[in-house]
């Protein structure tokens, strides 16, 4: 790992928030690396403090600004250094960003800041980071197509590999969803989140967790003690 943007991405994969990272001028910087690790075998920072050699890429910009021979205003210089490096990392991560990436990030911020409601914000946290990306990707598709049932089926199967989604034979606005996972309060809040985000209010959804409901003619679903009645 060489560049600060790589460090930021890895930290976020490890569930660290970008704002929690603190960039400092490396005490013993390497002329061959932007990020300075004592142990070169480390794949990610073990702490929030990250030592950086600001002259590795940006000597023309920071050569005089962060000259270590300048004395005084140490704390102010440290704060300014951290702000500058956060800004540089943000610029790096935005290079090559597509319009869809921009919409994805805007939607993510809307949810985590509570613009979709506090209940939605809280339930969104029950999904892992990679699962949140799946949810947002399919929600963007929903905004484009308005194909509620189809997109709902896709996001369910993407998040629950053992899942099956059935349409009711009796009504158009009713779905039966087998998830194939243990029923917990957390799972109940996750699927409620998905139902509220991807389906209109008129849609009725029945969720089945560990046991499939019995289907006449399908022997695998008609096993005693391994099915539920519906």
Whole-model pTM? 0.58
Extents of the domains making up the chain:
4-94, 99-228
DSSP, collapsed to helix, strand or coil, labels residue 161 as: coil
Query: How many CB atoms lie under 10 A from the CB of residue 109?
Result: 10
Query: What 3-state DSSP class applies to 175?
Result: strand
pLDDT in tens, the chain (230 residues): 578 888 888 888 888 888 888 888 888 877 778 887 655 455 555 678 888 888 888 787 777 777 777 777 878 888 988 998 898 888 888 776 677 777 888 899 999 999 999 999 999 999 998 899 999 999 999 998 999 999 999 999 999 998 988 887 777 788 989 898 999 999 999 999 999 999 998 899 989 888 776 554 444 444 444 444 44
Q: What is the per-residue pLDDT for 97?
A: 65
Structure tokens at 21: 């990272």
Q: At what angle do helices 148-159 and 129-145 cross, to 10 degrees?
A: 170
Question: Whole-angstrom Cα distance, residue 139 to residue 158?
Answer: 13
């Amino acid at each position: 790992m060489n560049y600060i943007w790589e460090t930021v991405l890895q930290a976020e994969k490890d569930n660290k928030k970008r704002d929690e990272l603190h960039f400092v001028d490396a005490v013993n910087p390497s002329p061959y690396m932007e990020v300075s690790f004592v142990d070169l075998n480390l794949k990610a920072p073990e702490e929030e403090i990250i030592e950086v050699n600001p002259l590795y890429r940006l000597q023309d910009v920071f050569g005089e600004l962060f000259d270590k021979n300048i004395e005084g205003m140490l704390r102010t210089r440290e704060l300014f250094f951290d702000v500058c490096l956060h800004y540089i990392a943000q610029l790096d991560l935005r290079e090559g960003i597509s319009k869809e990436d921009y919409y994805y990030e805007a939607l993510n911020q809307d949810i985590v800041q509570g613009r979709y409601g506090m209940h939605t914000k809280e339930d969104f946290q029950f999904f892992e980071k990679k699962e949140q990306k799946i949810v947002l990707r399919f929600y963007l598709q929903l905004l484009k197509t308005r194909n509620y049932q189809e997109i709902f089926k896709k996001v369910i199967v993407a998040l629950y590999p053992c899942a099956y989604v059935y349409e009711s034979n009796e009504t158009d606005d009713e779905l039966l969803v087998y998830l194939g996972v243990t029923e917990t309060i957390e799972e109940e809040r996750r699927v409620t989140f998905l139902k509220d985000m991807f389906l209109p209010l008129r849609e009725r959804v029945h969720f089945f967790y560990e046991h499939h409901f019995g289907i006449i003619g399908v022997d695998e679903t008609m096993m005693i003690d391994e099915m539920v009645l519906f």
